[in-house]
Structure 1
Amino acid sequence: MKSAVRIEAFLEMMSAERGAADNTLASYRRDLEDAAEAVGDLAAAQTADIRTYLGEIAARGFASSSQARKLSALRQFFKFLYMEGLRADDPTGTLDSPRKERSLPKTMSEAETGRLIDRAATEAGDPALGDAARLAALRLHALVEVLYATGLRVSELVSLPLSVALRDERFFIVRGKGDKERMVPLSAKAREAMRAWLGERGTMPAYEDNPYLFPAASESGHLPRQIFARDLKALAARAGISAAKISPHVLRHAFASHLLHNGADLRAVQQLLGHSDISTTQIYTHVLEERLVRLVNDHHPLADKTS
């Protein structure tokens, strides 16, 4: 069958000229053979045939990401045929890629977040802890308080400079993605937790000249984000919260969601999170929608107060 020969030639080109990995080649093969089975002679397929096929896989329940991947394989295949002079056109040229669904970010309720922070504070203040355990508890409490107070990215959090804790100011400047600086507020509780950690940090001679607030014997010189993520999950479990539903990124989302839920402006949250584009922040639009519905139901004179 001509399609099978053309597919093999395409895969040979991808391997020899593009250096495609075995997994990539296997994925292309599956997608192209699936299309050939549906269309017939794939090498001679027209735009209407490809559009019908894409409609069929959507009806079969394939996620939009899978649909987009299959269309991408077809684009590569027909581009190859065109470049090799085996076709005079590209039937995928006028086809739109399936729109990917924007999944809602995982987050935590305000009650869960409060429980997590309370647990961290309780452990940090436990007088029965040994030196090593006290050190770890104070550090974790400071990390959790600062993360929920600021919504920092985990990479920004673990690499905070020591100077942030030395100034005792309500705001500090953080350097984020693209080397851009932004001003971040710091709550009284977060400043207090940082001061407590700073006092313990000062007893560690090995880190006397380390410039980071959360130093570690790592290649970077600061606490690896994987260690913080592991410690955070363990803390969640001790607080009675499923470890599977929490990560540093989830706490960042909680920061943004709780701000919006309590009346913050989307633009302000964009600036606090360090998003360069408002469209990135718009994943939280559902929070605004819920707030607006509640606002109307609570305050509009014709709203049904019983619903």
Structure 2
Amino acid sequence: MYEQLESYIGYLTRKERSRATVNQYRRDISAFIIEMSRAAADGCVTKEAVIKYKRQLCERYRISSVNTKLAAINGFLEYTGRRDLRVKTMRIQRRAYCPREKELTKREYLSMIDQAIAQGDERMSLLMQTLGGTGIRVSELRYITVEAVEKGEASIWLKGKNRTVLIAGRLKKRLQSYIRREKLTGGPVFVTSGRKPLDRSNIWKMMKRLGEKAGVGKEKVFPHNVRHLFARCFYENDKDIAKLADVLGHSNIDTTRIYIMTSGYEHRRKIDALGLVL
């Protein structure tokens, strides 16, 4: 099965899946192959063995993580012609709100920017504002180039899709000033001292340190949470979920709905405001 795994990994790479996705699939499928080799000494994998493995995953991981692993396994089984071994993913009832302890508020976001400014870290301040002012994913930050800033829009390619992200006036001016001071002549705006694009792990660590100094709970501080904040603010201002889906690059509005969930506290406040309880 390992030879088939390598063939499948090559297939995913040719399909232009992200490196992170390919690596996650490799890990999940490798673990599955190891378990199946133990369960089927004769090398014959049965549906019962796959179902048993699914139960084991449910005992060890959150349902969302289980479904991610099952998606990888089912894709591999289909690729290798064993559709008969595929198993159903777990059904999850969508929450009407997100946990308050994980929701990054606008005030907390701004306090992190203020903290970056206070410690003289203009790059981090502008990086945060670029994520917050465009709603892009951290992996898309490399498309914010000197050329894109000058044009006022960035062309982003991800998962075989292209979309245009606007760099609004105020953000554009701040980035232009930064570009002049840093003497950047082209390419990505947010780079290391060696002029290489900042990677996801570096940005994650810098945000964590910034959040700690700003007194923001560490469970709230990660790049994708800024994207969620952008989505909530955009929707509150415009109330057009279809437009928001286009801006975020979602092909499915159900995905966009996840981004605009308010906290349980806000959900309770709105229920109380109905005036149905004396």
- The TM-score range, normalised by the shorter chain, is 0.5 to 0.7
* 2:259 equivalent in structure 1: 284
* 1:180 equivalent in structure 2: 162
Q: 1:152 aligns with which of 103, 127, 136?
A: 136
Pairing 1:154-173 to 2, within 5 Å after superposition? 154-166=138-150, 172-173=153-154
Q: 1:246 aligns with which of 207, 221, 238?
A: 221
Greater RCO, CA 8 A, separation 6+? 2
1:271 offset after TM fit, Å?
1.4
Count of equivalent residues:
249
Is the CA contact (8 Å cut-off) linking 1:275 and 1:281 kept in structure 2? yes
Give me the whole-angstrom Cα distance separating, in 2, the residues matched to 1:242 and 1:290.
Answer: 17
Which residues of structure 1 form unaligned runs of 5+? 1-13, 34-42, 84-89, 125-136
Pairing 1:1-307 to 2, within 5 Å after superposition? 14=1, 23-29=31-37, 32=39, 63-64=62-63, 66=66, 93=84, 97-101=88-92, 106-124=102-120, 137-166=121-150, 172-177=153-158, 178-184=160-166, 186=168, 188=170, 190-202=171-183, 207=184, 209-216=185-192, 221-261=196-236, 264-284=239-259, 286-287=261-262, 298=273, 303-304=275-276
CA-based RMSD: 4.8
CA deviation profile, 1:10-29 (whole Å, cap 9, x unmatched): xxxx3577679974433224
1:270 offset after TM fit, Å?
1.0
Give me the whole-angstrom Cα distance separating, in 1, the residues matched to 2:254 and 2:137.
Answer: 18
Which residues of structure 2 form unaligned runs of 5+? 7-25
1:239 offset after TM fit, Å?
0.9
1:60 offset after TM fit, Å?
6.8
Give me the whole-angstrom Cα distance separating, in 2, the residues matched to 1:55 and 1:215.
Answer: 43
Give me the whole-angstrom Cα distance separating, in 1, the residues matched to 2:144 and 2:68.
Answer: 39
Q: Name the CA shift for 1:184/1:29 in 2 (closer, same or farther; >3 Å).
A: same
Q: Name the CA shift for 1:150/1:54 in 2 (closer, same or farther; >3 Å).
A: same
* 1:10 equivalent in structure 2: none
Q: Name the CA shift for 1:290/1:196 in 2 (closer, same or farther; >3 Å).
A: same
